[in-house]
Amino acid sequence: MQAIQSPLTVLGIETSCDETAASIVRLHRDQPDGRVEVLSSIIASQVDEHAPYGGVVPEIAARSHVDHLDAIVKRALVESGLDWPQIDGVAATAGPGLIGGVMVGLMTAKGIALARGLPLMAVNHLEGHALSPRLGGAVPFPYLLLLVSGGHCQLLSANGLGDYHRLGTTIDDAAGEAFDKTAKILGLGQPGGPAVEAHARNGDAFRFNLPRPLKGRPGCDFSFAGLKTAVLRTFEALAQPSEQDIADLCASFQLAVADVLVDRTSRAMAAFQPSNTLHRFVVAGGVAANSVIRERLEQLCAHNRFSFSAPPMKWCTDNAAMIALAGAERLSLGMVDPLDALARPRWPLDAASASSTPSHKPGRKGAKA
Ligand code: KG4
Ligand code: ZN
Protein backbone atom coordinates (compact mmCIF):
# COMPACT_ATOMS: atom_id res chain seq x y z
CA MET A 1 0.00 0.00 0.00
CA GLN A 2 1.16 3.47 -0.92
CA ALA A 3 2.53 5.58 1.98
CA ILE A 4 0.15 8.33 3.04
CA GLN A 5 1.61 11.78 2.51
CA SER A 6 0.77 14.13 5.37
CA PRO A 7 -0.33 16.85 5.59
CA LEU A 8 -2.50 16.98 2.48
CA THR A 9 -3.72 20.37 1.26
CA VAL A 10 -6.77 20.34 -1.00
CA LEU A 11 -8.83 22.95 -2.84
CA GLY A 12 -12.57 22.26 -2.61
CA ILE A 13 -15.31 23.67 -4.86
CA GLU A 14 -19.04 23.65 -4.13
CA THR A 15 -21.68 24.72 -6.69
CA SER A 16 -24.53 22.22 -6.31
CA CYS A 17 -27.24 24.74 -5.46
CA ASP A 18 -27.27 28.46 -4.72
CA GLU A 19 -23.92 28.93 -2.98
CA THR A 20 -20.73 29.44 -4.97
CA ALA A 21 -17.96 28.33 -2.62
CA ALA A 22 -14.25 27.50 -2.57
CA SER A 23 -12.02 26.49 0.33
CA ILE A 24 -8.52 25.27 1.10
CA VAL A 25 -8.31 22.60 3.80
CA ARG A 26 -5.25 20.87 5.24
CA LEU A 27 -5.60 17.37 6.64
CA HIS A 28 -2.92 16.14 9.05
CA ARG A 29 -3.37 12.38 8.82
CA ASP A 30 -0.23 11.76 10.86
CA GLN A 31 -1.38 13.80 13.87
CA PRO A 32 -3.65 12.50 16.63
CA ASP A 33 -7.27 12.37 15.48
CA GLY A 34 -6.36 13.49 11.93
CA ARG A 35 -6.35 17.23 12.68
CA VAL A 36 -8.06 19.43 10.09
CA GLU A 37 -7.20 23.07 9.37
CA VAL A 38 -9.50 25.26 7.29
CA LEU A 39 -7.02 27.69 5.71
CA SER A 40 -9.72 29.62 3.83
CA SER A 41 -13.41 29.33 3.08
CA ILE A 42 -15.27 31.67 0.74
CA ILE A 43 -19.04 31.34 0.33
CA ALA A 44 -21.01 33.64 -1.98
CA SER A 45 -24.76 33.23 -1.58
CA GLN A 46 -27.03 33.80 -4.56
CA VAL A 47 -30.07 34.28 -2.34
CA ASP A 48 -30.74 37.84 -3.58
CA GLU A 49 -30.64 36.72 -7.22
CA HIS A 50 -33.34 34.09 -6.62
CA ALA A 51 -35.47 36.10 -4.17
CA PRO A 52 -37.84 37.60 -6.81
CA TYR A 53 -38.82 34.06 -7.91
CA GLY A 54 -39.56 32.59 -4.46
CA GLY A 55 -37.12 29.70 -4.95
CA VAL A 56 -33.87 28.67 -6.61
CA VAL A 57 -34.00 29.01 -10.44
CA PRO A 58 -31.54 26.43 -11.87
CA GLU A 59 -30.58 28.46 -14.96
CA ILE A 60 -29.88 31.59 -12.91
CA ALA A 61 -27.88 29.52 -10.43
CA ALA A 62 -25.68 27.96 -13.13
CA ARG A 63 -24.99 31.32 -14.82
CA SER A 64 -24.15 32.94 -11.51
CA HIS A 65 -21.67 30.14 -10.68
CA VAL A 66 -20.00 30.74 -14.08
CA ASP A 67 -19.77 34.48 -13.35
CA HIS A 68 -18.28 34.16 -9.85
CA LEU A 69 -16.44 30.87 -9.41
CA ASP A 70 -13.05 31.83 -10.89
CA ALA A 71 -12.73 34.89 -8.63
CA ILE A 72 -13.86 32.89 -5.59
CA VAL A 73 -11.27 30.16 -6.22
CA LYS A 74 -8.60 32.85 -6.53
CA ARG A 75 -9.74 34.48 -3.27
CA ALA A 76 -9.68 31.12 -1.47
CA LEU A 77 -6.09 30.62 -2.59
CA VAL A 78 -5.00 34.16 -1.65
CA GLU A 79 -6.67 34.01 1.79
CA SER A 80 -5.03 30.65 2.53
CA GLY A 81 -1.64 32.31 2.06
CA LEU A 82 -0.61 29.52 -0.31
CA ASP A 83 0.11 29.19 -4.02
CA TRP A 84 -0.54 26.37 -6.48
CA PRO A 85 2.68 24.40 -5.82
CA GLN A 86 1.50 23.91 -2.22
CA ILE A 87 -1.84 22.40 -3.28
CA ASP A 88 -1.93 18.58 -3.43
CA GLY A 89 -5.31 18.02 -5.08
CA VAL A 90 -8.58 19.56 -6.22
CA ALA A 91 -12.04 18.36 -5.17
CA ALA A 92 -15.45 19.43 -6.44
CA THR A 93 -19.02 18.44 -5.76
CA ALA A 94 -19.97 16.12 -8.63
CA GLY A 95 -23.57 15.64 -7.42
CA PRO A 96 -26.28 15.37 -6.32
CA GLY A 97 -27.62 18.82 -7.11
CA LEU A 98 -28.79 21.17 -9.83
CA ILE A 99 -26.94 19.75 -12.81
CA GLY A 100 -25.98 23.06 -14.46
CA GLY A 101 -24.27 24.28 -11.30
CA VAL A 102 -22.62 20.92 -10.59
CA MET A 103 -21.16 20.92 -14.12
CA VAL A 104 -19.72 24.43 -13.64
CA GLY A 105 -17.89 23.42 -10.45
CA LEU A 106 -16.72 20.03 -11.71
CA MET A 107 -15.50 21.40 -15.06
CA THR A 108 -13.59 24.15 -13.26
CA ALA A 109 -11.96 21.54 -11.01
CA LYS A 110 -11.06 19.40 -14.03
CA GLY A 111 -9.51 22.40 -15.76
CA ILE A 112 -7.38 23.16 -12.69
CA ALA A 113 -6.41 19.50 -12.27
CA LEU A 114 -5.32 19.29 -15.90
CA ALA A 115 -3.48 22.61 -15.97
CA ARG A 116 -1.68 22.09 -12.64
CA GLY A 117 -1.17 18.33 -12.88
CA LEU A 118 -3.18 17.69 -9.72
CA PRO A 119 -5.33 14.70 -8.78
CA LEU A 120 -9.09 15.23 -9.06
CA MET A 121 -11.62 14.08 -6.46
CA ALA A 122 -15.26 14.06 -7.66
CA VAL A 123 -17.04 14.34 -4.32
CA ASN A 124 -20.59 13.37 -3.37
CA HIS A 125 -22.07 16.48 -1.74
CA LEU A 126 -23.79 14.25 0.82
CA GLU A 127 -20.46 12.72 1.83
CA GLY A 128 -19.24 16.29 2.34
CA HIS A 129 -22.08 16.84 4.83
CA ALA A 130 -21.45 13.41 6.39
CA LEU A 131 -17.82 14.34 7.13
CA SER A 132 -18.49 18.00 8.05
CA PRO A 133 -18.38 17.43 11.87
CA ARG A 134 -14.67 16.60 11.42
CA LEU A 135 -14.09 20.27 10.56
CA GLY A 136 -14.63 20.82 14.28
CA GLY A 137 -12.83 17.80 15.76
CA ALA A 138 -12.29 14.07 15.43
CA VAL A 139 -15.34 11.91 14.67
CA PRO A 140 -14.12 8.45 13.61
CA PHE A 141 -16.23 5.92 11.69
CA PRO A 142 -18.55 4.15 12.31
CA TYR A 143 -21.43 6.42 13.32
CA LEU A 144 -25.16 6.81 12.94
CA LEU A 145 -25.78 9.82 10.70
CA LEU A 146 -28.88 12.00 10.49
CA LEU A 147 -28.46 14.07 7.34
CA VAL A 148 -31.04 16.86 7.37
CA SER A 149 -30.82 19.55 4.72
CA GLY A 150 -32.89 21.38 2.13
CA GLY A 151 -32.83 18.45 -0.28
CA HIS A 152 -32.32 15.43 1.96
CA CYS A 153 -33.57 13.82 5.13
CA GLN A 154 -31.94 10.46 5.76
CA LEU A 155 -30.68 8.20 8.50
CA LEU A 156 -27.57 6.25 7.55
CA SER A 157 -25.01 4.00 9.11
CA ALA A 158 -21.70 5.66 8.12
CA ASN A 159 -19.12 2.87 8.09
CA GLY A 160 -16.22 4.39 6.13
CA LEU A 161 -15.42 6.62 3.17
CA GLY A 162 -17.87 5.72 0.40
CA ASP A 163 -19.45 3.08 2.67
CA TYR A 164 -22.92 4.09 3.86
CA HIS A 165 -26.01 2.05 4.59
CA ARG A 166 -29.34 3.83 4.51
CA LEU A 167 -31.77 3.07 7.33
CA GLY A 168 -34.48 5.55 6.37
CA THR A 169 -35.30 8.48 4.12
CA THR A 170 -38.13 10.89 3.43
CA ILE A 171 -41.09 9.73 1.40
CA ASP A 172 -41.90 13.28 0.29
CA ASP A 173 -40.29 16.56 1.43
CA ALA A 174 -36.95 17.05 3.19
CA ALA A 175 -36.95 18.67 6.64
CA GLY A 176 -35.23 21.84 5.40
CA GLU A 177 -37.70 22.03 2.55
CA ALA A 178 -40.53 21.96 5.12
CA PHE A 179 -38.87 24.89 6.94
CA ASP A 180 -38.54 26.77 3.62
CA LYS A 181 -42.17 26.11 2.63
CA THR A 182 -43.42 27.12 6.08
CA ALA A 183 -41.47 30.38 5.82
CA LYS A 184 -42.98 30.97 2.39
CA ILE A 185 -46.53 30.40 3.68
CA LEU A 186 -45.89 32.81 6.55
CA GLY A 187 -44.20 35.38 4.29
CA LEU A 188 -40.86 35.19 6.13
CA GLY A 189 -38.35 35.09 3.26
CA GLN A 190 -35.68 32.55 2.32
CA PRO A 191 -33.80 30.55 3.47
CA GLY A 192 -36.70 29.59 5.67
CA GLY A 193 -34.93 27.68 8.45
CA PRO A 194 -33.16 30.59 10.15
CA ALA A 195 -36.25 32.83 9.72
CA VAL A 196 -38.60 30.26 11.28
CA GLU A 197 -36.15 29.61 14.13
CA ALA A 198 -35.84 33.34 14.86
CA HIS A 199 -39.63 33.84 15.02
CA ALA A 200 -40.09 30.65 17.04
CA ARG A 201 -37.95 32.13 19.84
CA ASN A 202 -40.84 34.44 20.78
CA GLY A 203 -43.55 31.82 20.25
CA ASP A 204 -45.62 29.33 22.24
CA ALA A 205 -44.75 25.89 20.83
CA PHE A 206 -47.83 24.32 22.45
CA ARG A 207 -50.46 26.68 21.01
CA PHE A 208 -51.10 24.80 17.75
CA ASN A 209 -51.39 21.04 17.76
CA LEU A 210 -49.75 20.15 14.44
CA PRO A 211 -49.36 16.55 13.14
CA ARG A 212 -46.19 14.48 13.66
CA PRO A 213 -46.17 12.39 10.43
CA LEU A 214 -45.01 8.75 10.83
CA LYS A 215 -44.25 9.24 14.55
CA GLY A 216 -44.49 5.90 16.35
CA ARG A 217 -44.67 3.96 13.10
CA PRO A 218 -42.24 1.10 12.32
CA GLY A 219 -39.11 1.87 10.31
CA CYS A 220 -37.00 5.00 10.05
CA ASP A 221 -38.61 6.87 7.13
CA PHE A 222 -39.79 10.47 7.34
CA SER A 223 -42.67 12.50 5.90
CA PHE A 224 -43.13 16.26 6.10
CA ALA A 225 -45.65 17.13 3.35
CA GLY A 226 -48.67 16.74 5.67
CA LEU A 227 -47.09 18.94 8.32
CA LYS A 228 -46.52 21.71 5.79
CA THR A 229 -50.17 21.45 4.66
CA ALA A 230 -51.30 21.64 8.29
CA VAL A 231 -49.27 24.86 8.69
CA LEU A 232 -51.02 26.27 5.61
CA ARG A 233 -54.51 25.35 6.89
CA THR A 234 -53.78 26.73 10.36
CA PHE A 235 -52.46 29.96 8.90
CA GLU A 236 -55.46 30.34 6.58
CA ALA A 237 -57.80 29.87 9.54
CA LEU A 238 -56.32 32.87 11.35
CA ALA A 239 -58.42 35.92 10.52
CA GLN A 240 -55.72 38.58 10.68
CA PRO A 241 -52.51 36.89 11.77
CA SER A 242 -50.53 38.93 14.28
CA GLU A 243 -46.78 38.77 14.88
CA GLN A 244 -47.55 36.62 17.92
CA ASP A 245 -49.68 34.22 15.84
CA ILE A 246 -46.79 33.79 13.42
CA ALA A 247 -44.29 33.28 16.22
CA ASP A 248 -46.59 30.65 17.83
CA LEU A 249 -47.04 28.87 14.50
CA CYS A 250 -43.25 28.85 13.89
CA ALA A 251 -42.61 27.46 17.37
CA SER A 252 -45.34 24.81 17.03
CA PHE A 253 -44.01 23.77 13.61
CA GLN A 254 -40.41 23.59 14.85
CA LEU A 255 -41.45 21.44 17.82
CA ALA A 256 -43.34 19.08 15.49
CA VAL A 257 -40.25 18.68 13.26
CA ALA A 258 -38.04 18.11 16.32
CA ASP A 259 -40.47 15.47 17.69
CA VAL A 260 -40.45 13.62 14.36
CA LEU A 261 -36.64 13.74 14.02
CA VAL A 262 -36.21 12.45 17.58
CA ASP A 263 -38.75 9.65 17.09
CA ARG A 264 -37.23 8.43 13.80
CA THR A 265 -33.68 8.74 15.13
CA SER A 266 -34.51 6.74 18.27
CA ARG A 267 -35.71 3.91 16.00
CA ALA A 268 -32.52 4.12 13.97
CA MET A 269 -30.48 3.99 17.18
CA ALA A 270 -32.17 0.68 18.01
CA ALA A 271 -31.37 -0.66 14.52
CA PHE A 272 -27.78 0.69 14.38
CA GLN A 273 -25.20 -2.09 14.69
CA PRO A 274 -21.71 -0.58 14.66
CA SER A 275 -18.67 -2.74 13.99
CA ASN A 276 -17.29 -1.70 17.40
CA THR A 277 -18.83 -1.13 20.80
CA LEU A 278 -18.91 2.66 20.46
CA HIS A 279 -22.24 4.27 19.75
CA ARG A 280 -21.70 7.57 17.99
CA PHE A 281 -24.39 9.83 16.55
CA VAL A 282 -23.80 12.65 14.07
CA VAL A 283 -26.30 15.21 12.79
CA ALA A 284 -25.28 17.22 9.71
CA GLY A 285 -26.79 19.43 6.98
CA GLY A 286 -28.44 22.84 7.10
CA VAL A 287 -31.15 21.85 9.60
CA ALA A 288 -28.44 20.79 12.07
CA ALA A 289 -27.93 24.55 12.57
CA ASN A 290 -31.28 24.67 14.41
CA SER A 291 -30.53 24.97 18.12
CA VAL A 292 -33.84 23.49 19.33
CA ILE A 293 -33.38 20.44 17.11
CA ARG A 294 -29.75 20.05 18.19
CA GLU A 295 -30.73 20.23 21.85
CA ARG A 296 -33.46 17.61 21.48
CA LEU A 297 -31.08 15.27 19.63
CA GLU A 298 -28.43 15.78 22.31
CA GLN A 299 -30.98 14.80 24.96
CA LEU A 300 -31.89 11.69 22.95
CA CYS A 301 -28.20 10.75 22.73
CA ALA A 302 -27.73 11.17 26.49
CA HIS A 303 -30.79 8.99 27.09
CA ASN A 304 -29.65 6.23 24.68
CA ARG A 305 -25.94 6.44 25.60
CA PHE A 306 -24.77 7.67 22.20
CA SER A 307 -22.06 10.31 21.88
CA PHE A 308 -23.29 13.43 20.04
CA SER A 309 -21.45 15.30 17.27
CA ALA A 310 -22.53 18.08 14.93
CA PRO A 311 -20.55 20.41 12.70
CA PRO A 312 -19.73 23.85 14.09
CA MET A 313 -22.70 26.08 13.12
CA LYS A 314 -20.97 27.70 10.13
CA TRP A 315 -20.26 24.33 8.52
CA CYS A 316 -23.87 23.05 8.74
CA THR A 317 -25.13 24.77 5.60
CA ASP A 318 -23.49 24.35 2.20
CA ASN A 319 -19.79 25.22 2.09
CA ALA A 320 -16.66 24.13 0.24
CA ALA A 321 -14.59 23.25 3.33
CA MET A 322 -16.55 20.01 3.74
CA ILE A 323 -15.95 19.20 0.04
CA ALA A 324 -12.22 19.92 0.38
CA LEU A 325 -12.08 17.72 3.49
CA ALA A 326 -13.92 14.86 1.76
CA GLY A 327 -11.46 15.29 -1.14
CA ALA A 328 -8.45 15.25 1.20
CA GLU A 329 -9.68 12.12 2.99
CA ARG A 330 -10.26 10.40 -0.35
CA LEU A 331 -6.85 11.48 -1.64
CA SER A 332 -5.19 10.11 1.50
CA LEU A 333 -6.63 6.69 0.61
CA GLY A 334 -5.74 6.94 -3.08
CA MET A 335 -9.41 7.39 -4.05
CA VAL A 336 -8.91 9.75 -7.00
CA ASP A 337 -11.13 10.16 -10.06
CA PRO A 338 -10.44 10.33 -13.81
CA LEU A 339 -10.87 13.57 -15.74
CA ASP A 340 -14.01 12.19 -17.40
CA ALA A 341 -15.79 11.79 -14.01
CA LEU A 342 -19.50 12.47 -14.46
CA ALA A 343 -21.63 15.25 -13.01
CA ARG A 344 -24.73 13.61 -11.53
CA PRO A 345 -28.08 15.23 -10.69
CA ARG A 346 -28.91 12.28 -8.41
CA TRP A 347 -26.32 10.29 -6.51
CA PRO A 348 -27.47 8.37 -3.43
CA LEU A 349 -24.88 7.69 -0.74
CA ASP A 350 -26.18 4.12 -0.53
CA ALA A 351 -26.95 3.18 -4.13
CA ALA A 352 -27.93 -0.38 -3.20
CA SER A 353 -30.67 0.66 -0.74
CA ALA A 354 -31.86 3.44 -3.01
CA SER A 355 -32.50 1.07 -5.92
CA SER A 356 -33.17 -2.33 -4.36
CA THR A 357 -35.18 -1.61 -1.24
CA PRO A 358 -37.31 1.44 -1.87
CA SER A 359 -39.95 1.56 0.83
CA HIS A 360 -41.87 4.01 -1.34
CA LYS A 361 -41.93 5.73 -4.69
CA PRO A 362 -39.74 8.83 -4.85
CA GLY A 363 -41.85 11.79 -3.82
CA ARG A 364 -41.58 15.39 -4.88
CA LYS A 365 -38.15 16.77 -4.25
CA GLY A 366 -36.90 20.24 -3.44
CA ALA A 367 -34.46 22.30 -5.46
CA LYS A 368 -31.54 20.72 -3.64
CA ALA A 369 -32.65 17.09 -4.00
O1 KG4 B 1 -27.20 21.88 3.76
P2 KG4 B 1 -27.90 22.99 3.09
O3 KG4 B 1 -27.22 24.33 3.03
O4 KG4 B 1 -28.26 22.64 1.63
C5 KG4 B 1 -28.61 21.39 1.14
O6 KG4 B 1 -27.70 20.61 0.84
O7 KG4 B 1 -29.83 21.15 1.06
O8 KG4 B 1 -29.31 23.13 3.83
C9 KG4 B 1 -30.14 24.20 3.57
C10 KG4 B 1 -31.42 23.96 4.35
C11 KG4 B 1 -32.50 24.98 3.99
O12 KG4 B 1 -33.70 24.27 3.76
C13 KG4 B 1 -32.57 25.85 5.22
O14 KG4 B 1 -33.85 26.41 5.44
C15 KG4 B 1 -32.19 24.87 6.31
O16 KG4 B 1 -31.17 24.09 5.74
N17 KG4 B 1 -31.70 25.56 7.51
C18 KG4 B 1 -32.31 25.50 8.71
C19 KG4 B 1 -31.59 26.37 9.56
N20 KG4 B 1 -30.55 26.89 8.86
C21 KG4 B 1 -30.64 26.38 7.60
N22 KG4 B 1 -33.41 24.83 9.11
C23 KG4 B 1 -33.79 25.00 10.39
N24 KG4 B 1 -33.17 25.83 11.27
C25 KG4 B 1 -32.06 26.52 10.91
N26 KG4 B 1 -31.46 27.33 11.77
ZN1 ZN C 1 -25.98 20.61 1.24
Q: Which residues contact 47 (CB under 8 A, 6 or more apart)?
A: 18, 190, 191
Q: What is the pLDDT of residues 163-205, one digit of tens each?
A: 999 999 999 999 999 999 999 999 998 889 999 999 999 999 9
Which residues neighbour 124 within 8 Å (Cβ) at sequence distance 6 or greater? 93, 94, 95, 96, 326, 347, 349
Ligand 1 pocket member 96 (CB < 6 A) = no
Q: Mean pLDDT across the chain, nearest whole number?
A: 94
pLDDT over 50 at 41, yes or no: yes
Q: Is 287 in the pocket of ligand 1 (CB under 6 A)?
A: yes
**What is the position in ligand 1's atom list of the atom closest to the CA of 152?**
7
pLDDT (tens digit per residue) in 86-136: 999 999 999 999 999 999 999 999 999 999 999 999 999 999 999 999 999
Give pLDDT, residue 360: 46
Ligand 1 close to Cβ of residue 148 (< 6 A): no
pLDDT at 363 over 50: no
| pLDDT reported for residue 354 | 77
Q: Provide mean pLDDT across the span 324-349.
A: 97
What is the pLDDT at residue 355? 67
pLDDT at res. 4:
62
Between the CA of 87 and the centroid of ligand 1 the distance, in Å, is 31
- DSSP line for 68-105: HHHHHHHHHHHHHT--GGG--EEEEEEESS-HHHHHHH
Q: How confident is the model at residue 351 (pLDDT cuts 50, 70, 90)?
A: confident
Q: What confidence score (pLDDT) does residue 30 get?
A: 81
Distance 368 CA to ligand 2 centre (A): 7
* Nearest Cα residue to atom 19 of ligand 1: 193
Asked if residue 194 has its Cβ within 6 Å of ligand 1, the reply is yes
Q: Is residue 367 over pLDDT 60?
A: no
Mutate to test the pocket of ligand 1, among 129, 149, 177, 181 (most ligand atoms within 8 A of CB): 149
Q: Is 318 in the pocket of ligand 1 (CB under 6 A)?
A: yes
| Cα of 130 from ligand 2 centre, angstroms | 10
Residue in 170, 184, 317 to alter for ligand 1 test, most ligand atoms within 8 A of Cβ: 317
Is residue 319 within 6 Å of ligand 1 at its C-beta? no
Mean pLDDT score, 122-151: 97
Number of helices followed by number of strands (H, E) in the chain: 11, 10
| Residue 2: predicted pLDDT | 52
Q: Which atom of ligand 1 is nearest to the CA of 316?
A: 1
Does the C-beta of 289 come closer than 6 Å to ligand 1?
yes
Give the separation between CA 118 and CA 89, rounded to whole angstroms.
5
Assess whether the C-beta atom of 179 lies below 6 angstroms from ligand 1: yes
The pLDDT of 152-168, averaged and rounded, is 97
Burial grade of 218 (CB within 10 A; 0-12, 13-18, 19 or more): exposed
pLDDT at 361: 44
193 CB less than 6 Å from ligand 1? yes
- Is the C-beta atom of 97 inside 6 A of ligand 1? no
Q: What is the pLDDT of residue 275?
A: 83
Instruction: Give the separation between CA 42 and CA 49, rounded to whole angstroms.
Output: 18
Is the minimum distance from the CB of 149 to ligand 1 under 6 angstroms?
Answer: yes
- The answer to whether 323 touches 92, Cβ cutoff 8 Å, is yes
- Ligand nearest to the backbone CA of 153: 1
Residue 343 is classified by DSSP as P
Radius of gyration of the chain (CA): 20
Instruction: State pLDDT tens for residues 226-281.
Output: 999 999 999 999 989 999 999 999 999 999 999 999 999 999 999 998 888 889 99
- Phi-psi region for residue 214, left (φ > 0), alpha (ψ -120 to 50) or beta? left
CA 275 to chain centre: 25
Q: What percent of the chain has pLDDT over 90?
A: 87
By C-alpha distance, which of 147, 152, 192 is closest to 173?
Answer: 152
Query: Rounded to the nearest whole angstrom, what is the distance from the C-alpha of residue 286 to the centroid of ligand 1?
Result: 3
